[in-house]
Amino acid sequence: MIPAGAAAAAGGIVAPPPGGVMRIRAVAWAHIVLGWATALLAVLAVNLQPQLQGTCTTTEDEVAHMRADALLLLLSSAAQAAAATVAAFASEDWRKGVPWTFAAFAHGMGVATFHRLDNVVFLAALVTVGSCPGSQLLVHGTPLVAHFILLAVPLGLFFLLGVSTLISALVYP
């Protein structure tokens, strides 16, 4: 690897390492995307048609529970996306710490959003397929293990990386 001084002396352009505000904006943009995507999923869950006929039916209480959780998911994901939008577009000259504060709030709301998202995915599977007496394969079986691996593990790693990035942006501005 060529040292930065040698590359500059040779006429090469060396990009400076990203500053604290750039790291904050990267976290904020990720939360904007996650927040609005989750809000869209919440709207779809509210409008989901339940399985009310046949041998595997859903009760009205399960449908109401899913829709209430979907509305709470919509609330937390919209708050996450709104705070992340402020963090992404806040001017560096605005006030010291404002972008970081809103990015940290969006990251905290992301944890609440993930908790609600986990519940809504579980309830949407239950409401869509219905519950058959003695057979809980979809709700308690393999597809939810796949859901856990495909949803929980990447989002958990994202949140750990986001916390690390926000702390490093605070310590090394």
12, part of any domain: no
Cβ count near 107 (within 10 Å): 23
pLDDT in tens, 77-120: 999 999 999 988 887 766 667 888 888 898 888 888 888 888 88
- For residues 156 and 162, give the distance between their C-alpha atoms in angstroms, rounded to a whole number: 10
2, part of any domain: no
Quickly count helices (H) and strands (E) in the chain.
7, 0
63, part of any domain: yes
Structural domain of 147 = 18-171
pLDDT band at 132 (very low <50, low <70, confident <90, very high): low
Name the domain count of the chain.
Answer: 1
130, part of any domain: yes
With tokens 């402020």, the residue in question is 86
With tokens 């998911």, the residue in question is 73
1, part of any domain: no
Of 86, 87, 47, residue with least CA distance to 67: 47
pLDDT in tens, 17-59: 456 677 788 888 888 888 898 898 899 889 888 766 666 677 7
Give residue 16's pLDDT: 46
41, part of any domain: yes
Residues 126 and 139 sit within 8 Å (Cβ to Cβ): yes
- For residues 155 and 89, give the distance between their C-alpha atoms in angstroms, rounded to a whole number: 24
166, part of any domain: yes
